[in-house]
Amino acid sequence: MSCLLIIDVQNDFMQGGSLQVSDSMDILKPINTLRKQHNNLFDLIVLSQDWHPFNHMSFASNHANKKVFDTINLNGSNQILWPNHCVQESFGSEIHKGLHREKSDIIIKKGTNPTIDSYSAFMDNDKKHKTELESILKKNNITTVYICGLATDYCVYYSCLDAASLGFKTYFLQDASKGVSKDTTAKAIENMIKYNIKHLKLTLIFCFWLEPILINREYSTTSTPFLYPIENKPFQKWIDLFNKETKHVEDKLDKAIDDLNSVTDREIRP
């Protein structure tokens, strides 16, 4: 059973927001395409939502003689001071209207404790208080989590680490996420790989209907192409891998992901 976890696609992190992430609008199309054409790949869809009180201690405005992006010691941990963002009930805290949503989506609010920040959708930064996300996933028998959103080097990154540490098979959807900076994003991806978190691109992995594979139904070579035509050589190698046999499907999927992630953009261009 699988879950798509969409992290913090909120107005304050999008273009024009108080803490906007560069090129954040670019994630809307791949996420929406995935949901509109392949929503039935997932047994559960969860959205996280930063939901800070106005007096949150991660806000620079709540510290005398401090400015945005200063670092302080907060309850024994380093804390970056951010501009006010995602304040409860504000426009900035709302899920961006350009994100495709459905009534069945579950929303997890995080960052509600004013004394500690909460990058991860699973728990606060001090690891002492969890959101309801883990219990919801386990209640729905979720074993695999696909994570995307904002920002790759902060909330997406820590959500991926916590998902993996809690025993969920974890995939990071790279082209449906954006980071705050290139350096910290590259480091985050490097660390995720060390923790056996697979990073993949929707243009590679979700180019075909995978529902039969993910829920153990018979796979058909007549599946509808997603973004690239079936004749593409790198994709054909991947399809052939699954057509040989269905035993140990997840292991084969991981190998296929590794193979395809090594293909250059030039090689996969249709």
Active site residues: 8, 110, 155
Q: Which residues 6+ apart lie within 8 Å of 155 measured at CB?
A: 7, 8, 48, 50, 119, 120, 121, 149
Residue 32, φ and ψ in degrees, nearest 5: -65, -40
Q: Are 122 and 162 in contact (CB under 8 A)?
A: yes
Residue 74, φ and ψ in degrees, nearest 5: -125, 110
Helices of type H across the chain: 28-38, 133-139, 157-165, 182-194, 202-205, 211-214, 233-244, 249-261, 265-268
Helices (H) and strands (E) in the chain, counts: 9, 8
Per the DSSP assignment, residues forming a β-bridge with 77 are 74
Q: Cβ–Cβ contacts within 10 Å for residue 237, how many?
A: 13
CA dist., res. 249 & res. 231, Å (int): 23
Q: How is residue 176 annotated by DSSP?
A: E
Q: Which residues 6+ apart lie within 8 Å of 149 measured at CB?
A: 5, 6, 7, 8, 9, 27, 31, 48, 155, 156, 176, 177
